[in-house]
Structure 1
């Protein structure tokens, strides 16, 4: 049985991408297909490496009963060679990732915006870091919509 690999990327790996990782892991678990996936998240920057997710994101996940265990890390060259999908949050992430992928000889990952799977057509998942709790709730809701469609399309 082939195991799909999916990593979600944002700038710091403490807000959006850990939420998307946790949401997708719970959906895959609930659907009984989590063993078919390697699920992770990472950052394009080095600023927050080693830190846990933002406390507001953790509170949002707890409210929705979604387990979240993550420590921020930076995307690596190996990620481009080992993951099937690298899904990111905005155009800046997409640009950074495509540049990095061009420097990796055996890059096989399909790099896309996670929002491209949003049935409500909200392409960009906005960074809630400088916002409030409701901004984290919006990220959660968008990730739920996108991850649901992504999982349906790839199961």
Structure 2
């Protein structure tokens, strides 16, 4: 499931923070979106928000669904697992210009899949997601020479 209240808003916030730290935030448009509409308009999961607050990473998003226009308006669209990637590729219009990739592809520790912590009892899964997104976003920016 991908409802835009756990992994993707964490990745969005971490990515925006990484750009801010590199002094290029104003040159990028960063957003996150869901593959399902069951949480549209809702803020991220309280545990995701708590994790970002703990790390002093601003998080300001409301869940929305992926739009066809996203595939032309964004250069990269990242999924968190193979199911996300498959569904994104199915949704992509023929004139899509976005590169669709697993964010975990950039994890220097090799953890390819960013597991959804939604059904976890505590906060540890959200912390794990944060740490992986932190590694992946930094490594992605390094890979395209954003210093």
TM range (shorter): over 0.9
Aligned length, in residue pairs: 144
> Which residue, 104, 111, 114 being the options, matches 1:125?
114
Q: Which aligned segments of 4 or more residues in structure 1 are displaced greater than 6 angstroms?
A: none
- 1:137 and 2:127 correspond: yes
Q: What corresponds to 1:5 in structure 2?
A: none
Partner Cα distance (2:83, 2:119) in 1: 17
How far has the Cα of 1:89 moved from its partner?
0.2
> Which residue, 46, 49, 55 being the options, matches 1:58?
49
How far has the Cα of 1:105 moved from its partner?
3.0
> Which residue, 139, 142, 146 being the options, matches 1:152?
142
Q: What corresponds to 1:23 in structure 2?
A: 14
User: Given the two structures, how large is their TM-score scaled by the length of structure 1?
Assistant: 0.91
Partner Cα distance (1:125, 1:152) in 2: 20
Unaligned runs of 5+ in 2: none
CA RMSD of aligned residues (A): 0.9
Q: What corresponds to 1:112 in structure 2?
A: 101
Unaligned runs of 5+ in 1: 1-9
1:18-75 C-alpha deviation (Å, 9 max, x unpaired): 0000001011001101112110000011111000000000000000000000000000
